[in-house]
Chains A and B, each alone.
Chain A
Amino acid sequence: MRTPISYFLIVSGMLFAIGTVGVLVRKNALVIFMAVELQLNAVNLSLVAFSRMHNNLNGQVMAFFSMVVAAAEVVVGLAIIVTIYRRRQSASVDDANVLRG
């Protein structure tokens, strides 16, 4: 017997909620980054679950795509964070507010 789709979606939703809260409440850019990764993986999980439900591979292909993109994004994002840290001796996103209106 297959595990019902709802289990996966509940786990996925919880992971996404944890990630969202992480993004909203943490100041450290690295932690926010990890929380974003959590959100991405929550979505990946639901994609794979739907893929299994529909018995085709589209969802899994999509998940791979997002993993690749996430990896690329990590490279760029970490580079930015490291640069900001070097300039300001801080990785707090609240300090990086020079683009405010």
Chain B
Amino acid sequence: MFDLAWLIPALPLAGAVLNLFAGRRLGSRAGWVASALVAASFAVAVAVLIDLVALPGEERRHAVRLFEWIAAGAFRVEATILLDPLSMTMTLVVTGVGALIHVYAVGYLENDPRVGLFFSYFNLFVFFMLMLVLADNYLVLYLGWEGVGLCSYLLIGFWHDRPVAASAAKKAFVTTRIGDAAMMLGLVLIFVHLGTLDFETVLGPEAGALSNGAATAIALLLLAGAVGKSAQLPLHVWLPDAMEGPTPVSALIHAATMVTAGVYLIVRSHPLFEASDIALTVVLVVGLLSAIYAALASIGQFDVKRALAYSTMSQIGFMFFAAGMGFYAGAMLLLVAHAFYKALLFLTSGNVMHGLHDETDLRAMGGLRSEMPVSTAWFGIGALALAGVPPLAGFFAKDHIVNFASQSGRATAWVLASIAAFISAVYISRPLFLVFFGRRRTEARAHEAPWRMHAPLAVLAAGAVTSGLVLGLQAEGGLLERFLEPVTGAAHGTGTGPSEAVLIAVSIVIAVAGVAVAWWIWGSERVDWQSFPERQPELAGWLSNAFYLNALYSWLVRAPGLGFGRGLRVVDDRVVDGAANELGVAVTRSSRLAPILQSGLVRSYALAFLLGAVVLLLFMGLRF
């Protein structure tokens, strides 16, 4: 099957081209075509996986060379597909979850006239995402990296007739561009120091031969790219606004796949990060801070999708945290589990919006469980999985990461991560209780979504329930960890701190306590949460505005930028245009003198002629 691996990215690309040119003619069938192609891509990926698993562990790295892309002197880049455990894990998530979200989107965008264009972008996104994860060198990875950024821009702004959506798309593009520019510099540095961008060389023994300074510079520049793409501090401001896009877009791009590309980049490039003595620590700190920050911000949101967006940022913070500890398999396990339950949560909130005519305000919902029982079950599964209630996926994934912090002797990090886990349990149970439980706060009649929107949700829910059990039952030696070991190496705790049983007990208590607290505040009607903003305006303001970082950036970047632009406009008006205009005015004015001479009287011309002749004669006469 390895020879057919090129089909994995080629099928979605074919779908993108087909839907772009024939989407109008396909009409409502466009979505099914797109879904079928992504599903076919998933099938090919499964076949490749079976062949890969048949090989012994150390040989599970197969590069399929497609063609030479760039050859300029010593700079050679080949378009190569890399099949190894890490890339296959990502590929299965992208195509598997991607296909399910495609199917859901068919129902969600049923009445949109531009459905062909939507699925063209959607398939194009899957293609670029697959290029990103299947690349065998940094330049092809960067191609996919920029490609998914483009698709993210196109899809956030898909309803571009709404100004908020258009400006959110711009914000996402520009903000991630900051990280991408840094990442590009990192790639240049890699080439300067190692003379190639191929993974086999860059991530081989030569990475360890880099000087500490060079490795640190490269790793931090790559981290900047990852931070931008994965919406971590300080480049996270675009993600909440990106929720202006259609809900399937939020689920696929801004929850399950694209935003986790940063985690993939770090895990893939881990030899470079390990060659530096501080880079991994920076990753750890960024991840932990983002996890806590976004968890707190999520509690303050009243827009269900924004709350989920901050939740995504927080979860990716956990993944960064795990990668920063060198626990790459843990980061990947959370990535896979998160792809399931966060896609489930987003799509279920899409059901709610669908049922309530695009209502997203949590304050205008409540008590929907009687009308939307199935969606309630899906959201409940997703929320409990994220909260870390055993035996759902999030429990194993998050538990391993938090416990690893303790077992590797990072007590402070363990405490902070546990706090973040507690807030996670609170913030994700909050929309569950606010939307589906309690009393009705709206007059609108909700209706349950049709079966074909529930079908993909059922598969995602199954994944959210079982993926942790199947892939990561044990912290060390779980199925996913053993599968990834040839790429990531094994991570072992030092065995310090409390025993594993104690840690697991603490994790369970934290998760259950978080859900209970959320129930007490938002589900039990015993706490007047609706008047909280009036009683505590400052705290509520800090939370709902995500600690005013957006306003700070606005003040630091946007206002000076606008001022600079206005200054340039004055320069343009006064100096550039001014010079041209004033020159024209001067010519016009001076030309008014000419008509005095041109009187139209032949005799005056003759007189001037005569006087001229006299002057000439006098001149000549005086000279000789």
Interface residues of A (CB under 8 A from B): 20, 23-25, 32, 93-94, 96-101
Residues of B within 8 A of A100 (CB): 595, 598-601
Residues of A close to B55: CB separation below 8 A: none
B598 touches A24 (CB 8 A): no
Q: Do the beta carbons of B603 and A24 come within 8 Å of each other?
A: yes
**Count class of interface residues, chain B:** 10 to 19
The proximity string for B residues 583-603 relative to A, scoring 1 for CB distances below 8 Å and 0 otherwise, is 000000000001111111111
A93 touches B599 (CB 8 A): no
Contact B600 A23 (CB under 8 A): no
Q: Check: B618 CB closer than 8 A to any chain A CB.
A: no
Assess whether A24 is in contact with B606, with CB atoms less than 8 Å apart.
Answer: yes
Query: In chain A, what residue has the closest Cβ to B610?
Result: A20
**Minimum Cβ distance to chain A for residue B279 (Å):** 78
Interface flag for B607 (CB, 8 Å): yes
| A98: chain B residues within 8 A (beta carbon) | 600
Q: A20-B610, A24-B610 are in contact. Are A93 and B603 (CB under 8 A)?
A: yes
Given contacts A94-B601, A99-B600, contact A24 B607 (CB under 8 A): yes
Task: Kindly provide the distance from the CB of B377 to the nearest chain A CB, expressed in whole angstroms.
Answer: 91
Within the assembled complex, what's the spacing in Å between the Cα atoms of A24 and B603? 5
Chain B residues closer than 8 Å to A20, beta-carbon distance = 606, 610
- Residue ID in chain A nearest B592 by CB atoms: A101
CB contact between B602 and one of A25, A93, A101 (< 8 Å): that residue: A93
Inside 8 A of A24's CB, which chain B residues have their CB?
A: 603, 606-607, 610
| Contact present for A23 and B599 (CB under 8 Å) | no
- Which listed residue (A25, A32, A97) contacts B599, Cβ 8 A? A97
Interface pair A101/B606, CB less than 8 Å apart: no
- Which residues of the partner chain B approach A96 to less than 8 Å between Cβ atoms? 600, 602
Instruction: Contact check, A101 vs B603: say whether CB atoms are below 8 A apart.
Output: no
Contacts of B596 in A (CB 8 A): 101
CB distance from A59 to the nearest CB of B (A): 20
Is A97 a contact of B601 with CB atoms below 8 Å?
yes
Q: Which residue of A lies closest to B593 (CB)?
A: A101
User: Whole-angstrom distance between the alpha carbons of A80 and B610 in the complex?
Assistant: 24
> CA of A99 to CA of B610 in the docked complex: distance in angstroms?
21
Determine how close the nearest CB of chain A comes to the CB of B582; give it in whole angstroms: 24
Question: Contact: A101 with B597, CB < 8 Å?
Answer: yes
Q: Complex formed: what's the CA distance from A96 to B602 in Å?
A: 9
**CB-nearest residue of chain A relative to B591?**
A101
Asked whether, in the complex, the Cβ of A101 is within 8 Å of the Cβ of B598, the reply is yes
- Pick from A25, A93, A101 the residue with the most CB of B within 10 Å: A101
Q: Mark B461-485, 1 if CB is under 8 A from A, else 0.
A: 0000000000000000000000000
With A and B bound together, what is the CA distance between A20 and B603 in angstroms? 10
8 A–B contacts, CB within 8 A, in A order: A20-B610, A24-B610, A93-B602, A93-B603, A96-B600, A97-B599, A101-B596, A101-B600
